[in-house]
Structure formats: C-alpha cells, structure tokens
Amino acid sequence: MAQFKVSVDLSQMLNAVPIITRQVFPLVNQAVRAIAEQTAANWQKEVYRAKLWSGEKDAYVKSITWAMAGHFAAVVQADYKNADEIETGRPPHDLKTMLSTSPKVRRTKDGLRFMIIPLRANTPGNDALAQSMPTDVYTAASQLKASTIVAQSKRASGEMTSMHPQWSAKPLKKQTPFMSSTATRGTFMVPRNVYKWGGKLDTSGIANLSSADQKRYQGMVRMDNRTPGGKTYSSYLTFRVMSENSPGWIIPARPGLYLAKKTADAMQPLAEKVINEAVAQSLD
C-alpha cells in the first residue's frame, strides 16, 4: 500500500543546544509528541476542506496517523491508496484502454470493440463516491416504474452485438471467435444480467436543468434492489456505450493539492517556537 509521510524531525535543531540533560529531555520529547499530534490533526482538517468526494475524504483522514521515530523525531503518515495522487497530482487517463483488457468487451458486426458502462447517480446529499443528482432530477426519477434484474446468465467475451433503442443489446446470429479459456480451451464466458425494463427518464421536461445535466441524466432508470435481509431499495443508473471511436471517456489530469506540504510548512515555525520554549524552560 502506498504511503505519504510528513516528518517532524528536530534532531538537527537540537544540535544547536549545548547539552540535552535528563531534565531537558522530557519537555522536548513531549513537545515533539504534541507537534506530531497537531500536525496530524491539521492535515486531517486540510483534507476535509479539500474538493474531494466525501467517501474519499473519510478514507484519507482515517489513514492519517503519527508515531514517534526516536526521542526527538516523529512521523505523520497516510497509507490511503490514493494519497499520492491527491497530494502530487495524476496524469490524464483514457478509460478506453479497458477495451483492450476487459473480458466484458463486446463487438459490433464490423468488429468494433465496445462496452456498456453502468454509471451510478447518487441521491441528493449522498456524494460519497460520485456527484449527487440535482433534486429535480431525483424527484422525477423516483417516480419512474422500476427496472429489475430478472435473471443472470453467461455470454461469450467479445460477443458480436447489435444495439437498438428498444431492445438495447442483442447478440447477432453470426459470431466469430474472440477469446478462449486457458482452462477449457473453449469460448471464454462472462456474466450477463437479464433486465426487465421499467421507465426511463426524459430530462427535456425538467426545468432549470443545465444542458450538461440534461445529457448526463437522459435515459436514467430506477433499479429495484434487495438486501440480503429482504429489504428493497432503489438505485439510479444510466447506461452508456464506450467504443473504440467514442469521443471523451478521458479522466482529465488532476493537479496536486499538496495538503501534506501545506500542513508541514505551516507547522514548521510553530514547531521551532515550541521546541525553543521547551528548552528555555528546562534550562531556567
């Protein structure tokens, strides 16, 4: 797991002090502990202030810890898997590379690879993993007749498929080999959901909706789901086709937020002041 660290090391600063006696040591050690603890708390505050999804914030904050690394040093660190990307940034990522790696890929009659991607839309106030939908969109979507998964089967990876506005994805009669199983040497099979479709959202009738949101939520469905305990709940999905020649599907580069550096830079003068005061008090 990746780690991102902020060090609180006062060893060099203390070299300027002629002697660290047993009387001085406890106060300096306590000061280092206090600085490390405050650095961790300030780092967590910076994460919560940042423009990140709430679920990402919670996971990042939970991973921030501190520990002593000697008498006069401490390390504040985060082992959240995305900490490095958040701190230093990430390059753009083309999602269409999945068409070369995912066994769930399909093909058109001309051999063009594509995938049908379900995109979850969160209800208002729930933005843990993605942006929540506008209230007016949710009001309309919650009234839709529910769609359900009525069965599960399997299909061939790379299945040649036709797309139609009414019956959605439909396998072609003529198929050609695409991927074989190394275990059976037969056609590699992947899971397939069989849906009974209910209503689909028409965003053209929703007032005060931006053109981007009209496009984003057009055709959204309300799915009926059931918990292991038997309780039903709704989820909201849009299904989009990503093909080799699709425009977009690129996650833009994200600049680094440098939350850890900002925290460390702000704490440095305070740390020096606290240590100097601890030494001065001990030598009085």
Q: What's the pLDDT tens digit per position in 159-191?
A: 999 987 655 788 899 898 888 888 888 899 999
Q: Which of 190, 209, 193 lies closest to 201, judged by CA?
A: 209
Q: Are residues 60 and 131 in the same domain?
A: no
Residue 45: pLDDT band with limits 50, 70, 90: very high
Provide the domain limits for residue 170.
Answer: 93-249
Q: Are residues 66 and 154 in the same domain?
A: no
Q: Are residues 82 and 97 in the same domain?
A: no
pLDDT at 2 over 60: no
| Pairwise pLDDT comparison (73 vs 208), residue with the higher score | 208
Q: Are residues 81 and 221 in the same domain?
A: no
Q: Are residues 102 and 81 in the same domain?
A: no
Which whole number is the average pLDDT over 24-48? 89
Which whole number is the average pLDDT over 126-149? 89
Annotate 135-154 with DSSP letters as a single string: HHHHHHHTTSPPBEEEEEEE
pLDDT at 41 over 50: yes
Which whole number is the average pLDDT over 201-224? 95
Structure confidence at residue 24 (pLDDT): 61
Residue 22: pLDDT band with limits 50, 70, 90: very low
Q: Are residues 158 and 243 in the same domain?
A: yes
Q: Are residues 129 and 57 in the same domain?
A: no
pLDDT at 195 over 70: yes
Residue 91: pLDDT band with limits 50, 70, 90: very high
Question: What percent of the chain is predicted at pLDDT more than 90?
Answer: 60
Q: Distance of CA 35 to CAs 65, 74, 79, 85, 216, Å?
A: 13, 9, 20, 26, 47
Q: Are residues 25 and 130 in the same domain?
A: no
pLDDT at 273 over 80: yes
> Taking all residues of the chain, what is their mean pLDDT, rounded to a whole number?
87
Q: How many domains does the chain have?
A: 2
Q: What share of the chain is helix, strand, coil (3-state, %, to 5)?
A: 35, 30, 35
Q: What does the alpha-carbon distance between residue 128 and residue 123 come to, in Å, rounded to a whole number?
A: 10
Q: Are residues 66 and 118 in the same domain?
A: no
Which whole number is the average pLDDT over 235-257? 93
| Pairwise pLDDT comparison (194 vs 272), residue with the higher score | 194
Structure tokens belonging to residue 132: 């929540």
Structure confidence at residue 31 (pLDDT): 86
Q: Which of 25, 217, 243, 266 lies closest to 116, judged by CA?
A: 243
Q: With contact defined as beta carbons under 8 Å apart, do 252 and 92 qualify? A: yes
Structure confidence at residue 1 (pLDDT): 41
Q: Are residues 205 and 261 in the same domain?
A: no
Question: What percent of the chain is predicted at pLDDT more than 70?
Answer: 88
pLDDT at 196 over 70: yes
